[in-house]
Structure 1
Amino acid sequence: MFRNLFVAAVLAALCAGLVTSAFQAWRVTPLIFAAESFEGGEAHSHGDDAAHSHEAGTPVHSHGDDEWMPQDGFERTAYTVLANLLMAAGYALVLGAVSVLFNLPITFNNGLLWGLGAFAAFSLAPALGLPPGMPGMPVADTLARQLWWAGAAVSTGAALVIAAKFRAGWALAVAAALIILPHLIAAPVAPDEPTGVPPRMTAEFVSAVLFNGALFFTVLGLAFGWVNDRLAARSVAIPEGAPA
């Protein structure tokens, strides 16, 4: 069972990582490049830029003269795809661990629910307090942002697990309280500093990142469930101890 879950997680991560990389290249990366021209108040070349990660809870950073950064083009794209694959593997293993710990199987029939739940926990809920940030936008303290993001993700994820595991009124009440709890604690506020990034571009970026998150977790959940079903059927078809 554990081997099947691991293989399913890896294959699902491969599917989700490649899909999200394609969407980012089409919709998200052009917005990042456009926003980087406003970073520091003036346009600059992308030739020495680092690949950015601007999901909710990830700080925008500045570039140092002695900081190594991948070159634009194939190198930057390759590092972005690699980062997406590693991120997808991490999330897939988290879903697999939750499935085992709480005896909640991941199948193709409920894979969409797993994906939407992961999107709610890891993207949507944290974005209510910490929306995705673009290059050139002021951000709050990094540690404070990371702690709040983790709290929102864990609290929302726990609420969804409780609601799925216990079909009772008290469970729904506890789940609702856990979803609301992190938002009763104010998220770190970014400093009120001027920025040259147009508001329209910021709105487009937030919507693109959230759509990308929904696409990523939907593919991850469905692929995980589909592969899990195939591996489980194969295990039943092959008697224990027989050669595969």
Structure 2
Amino acid sequence: MIRTLMVRGLLLGLLAGLVAGGFAFVFGEPRIDSAIALEEAATAEAAGSEPEPAGHSHEISRPVQKAGLFLATGLYGLAIGGVFALVYAGLRGRVGPRNEGGLALSAAGMAFVAIILVPFLKYPANPPAVGDPATINDRTFLYVVMVLVGLAATAIAVAVARRITAGSWQRWIGAVAAFLVPVIAAWVVLPTVDEVPEGFPASLLWEFRVASLGTHLVFWAAFGVLFGWVSDRAARRAEALAAA
């Protein structure tokens, strides 16, 4: 069963990754092009020369980067799909909805909130030309800390929900409260990072961040739906064979 779930997770993760790559290509890449153009214009102005065509001053050309986008999202989907399959196997029959599809959607939704939404709200993604290269290690460390906080908060919320034996709404309130306490504490305690240069277009920054979050949302929604649908079909097929 573990092997079947792993293969399912890898294949569907790859497919969802390619779908998310398509979304990022349509909605995210134009914003990256605009940000790179601003960065190169600022660099050329500081050097007193004419700006190069967008993307030509980078070691890897923009067409190659855009083609590599699908490779990156596909590999991301493979990795996430494999890990998700193992977690899903551990959750089956222990936590969450009893039906396969409901469990897959619930797990995917919790994963999105824990490892994407929680860190994004504290440290949102930035386009090129935003952020000091000297602080990239610090910013990466803080982002990873928020991911760990999101995962820990989710685990705590699940544990609290399992311990509450009252009605479903009491379990929901307890789980949400248990999730929010460590998350809000981390948001308050961890330092704020604001390295947006003066004069950077606010609309471009907002559109890039929305596209970035949207790419992750598309991936997790597609993956959760696909994994749940395939798992439901497999469960019904197994029940039909057992009844025959």
TM, length-normalised to structure 1:
0.75
Q: Does 1:113 align with 2:106?
A: yes
Indicate if the aligned counterparts of 2:25 and 2:69 stay in contact, CA closer than 8 A: no
Q: Which whole-Å CA distance do the structure 2 matches of 1:17 and 1:28 have between them?
A: 15
List runs of 5+ in structure 1 lacking aligned partners.
50-68, 240-244
Instruction: Report how far residue 149 of structure 1 moved.
Output: 2.6
Structure 1 range deviating more: 202-211 or 91-100: 91-100
Whether 1:72 aligns to 2:82 is no
Counterpart in the other structure of 1:131: 124
State the partner residue of 1:2: 2
Q: What CA distance in whole angstroms lies between the structure 2 residues aligned with 1:99 and 1:167?
A: 22
Equivalent-residue separation in structure 1 for 2:203 and 2:151 (angstroms): 31
Q: 1:33 to 1:180 in 2, by over 3 A?
A: farther
What is the distance in 1 between the residues matched to 2:161 and 2:3?
25
C-alpha distance in structure 2 between counterparts of 1:111 and 1:48, whole Å: 44
2:227 is the counterpart of 1:224: yes
Q: Which residue of 2 aligns with 1:25?
A: 25
| Cα distance between partner residues in 2 of 1:21 and 1:31 | 15
Q: Distance in 1 between matches of 2:125 and 2:26?
A: 18
**Pairs within 5 Å for 1:56-95:** 69-73=59-63, 75-95=64-84
Letter matched to residue 147 of structure 2: A
Kindly state the Cα deviation for residue 20 of structure 1 after the two structures are TM-superposed.
0.4
Distance 2:159 2:71 in 1: 34
Q: CA deviation at 1:21?
A: 0.7
Write out per-residue CA displacement over residues 102-141 of structure 1, whole angstroms, 9 at most, x where no aligned residue.
Answer: 3347723444333322221121111121111111112652
Task: Measure, in 1, the Cα distance between the counterparts of 2:89 and 2:172.
Answer: 20
| CA contact 1:4–1:232 (8 Å) conserved in 2 | no
Is residue 123–residue 143 contact of structure 2 (8 Å, CA) maintained in 1?
Answer: no
Is 1:184 matched with 2:185?
yes
1:16 to partner: Cα distance: 0.9
Equivalent residue number for residue 210 of structure 1 = 213
1:100 aligns with 2:109: no
Of structures 1 and 2, the larger Rg is shown by 2
1:206-236 CA distances to partner (integer Å, 9 max, x unpaired)? 2222222221101111111122233445556
Distance in 1 between residues matched to 2:104 and 2:66, nearest whole Å: 29
| SS at structure 1 position matched to 2:13 | helix
Cα deviation, residue 5, structure 1: 0.6
Q: Which amino acid aligns with 1:122?
A: I
Please, what TM-score do these two structures have when normalized by structure 2? 0.75
Task: Summarize the Cα distance change of 1:10–1:147 in structure 2 as closer, same or farther, 3 Å threshold.
Answer: closer
Cα RMSD (Å): 2.9
CA contact (8 A) 1:162 1:175 kept: no
Greater helix percent: which structure? 2
1:146 aligned to 134, 143, 146, which one?
Answer: 143
1:219–1:167 CA distance, 2 compared to 1 (3 A) = farther
Task: Extract unaligned runs of 5+ from structure 2.
Answer: 44-50
Secondary structure of the structure 2 residue equivalent to 1:47: coil
Q: Would the alpha carbon gap of residues 106 and 163 (structure 1) be closer, same or farther in structure 2, given more than 3 Å must change?
A: farther
User: 1:163-196: CA deviations, max 9, x gaps?
Assistant: 6655545785365233331331333432556344
User: Is 106-115 or 207-216 further displaced after alignment?
Assistant: 106-115
Q: Percent identity?
A: 25
